[in-house]
Amino acid sequence: MRPQPLLVIALLAISVAWAAFVFEMVQSRAARYDDVGMGKLGWREIAWPFPRDGWPAGRAFRCQSSSCVPDSEIYLRAKLGFCNCDTGVADDDEVDRVADIDLISPRFVAHEAGRAVRVAELSGRARSYDLETGGASHGAVGFALSHRCDLMVAVIEGRAAQPLLQDAAQQFLASHEVRRWMMAALGGGK
């Protein structure tokens, strides 16, 4: 007995629909596990809080939960063509110069020597600072991360200890959504 063409078409359509549903479920689950980014880590995007300068505005985020460092903020932006193509970010003086710490406060002092870091596909240096803003002091960690001849700079600032700030920033910067944005801002990793 030969199957009816209508039955074969119906079964084929059901199979295709089921396969699409399973694929979507697997992709959704993978995205949930892969992206521990902004919302899952408690970060909410806010407006870029700094006046215009020689670089395009970046992105700014505020921590809104205990899963990050409460009341901290992180700012990141690309600076294209602003890095030594051969050596990348070479030393702490370069971090001091490019990491946008001075946008938060012109009164900053390095807390300690910086250290080499790798975040996603980018490598560079991170350095801790003590800031004074409006009579209150708090900490910050500046990142200068290179990719070929371009820089991604990030600063996290808050009232927590610098090691907590650095861990929160690195976790945020390593999230799938932020990594994807950083590489796109740096020309797609080309």
Q: How high does pLDDT run on average in the chain?
A: 83
User: Does 190 score more than 50 pLDDT?
Assistant: no
pLDDT in tens, 20-36: 555 565 554 444 434 44
pTM value is 0.76
User: Does 37 score more than 60 pLDDT?
Assistant: no
Mean pLDDT of 139-149: 92
Q: Which residues contact 8 (CB under 8 A, 6 or more apart)?
A: none
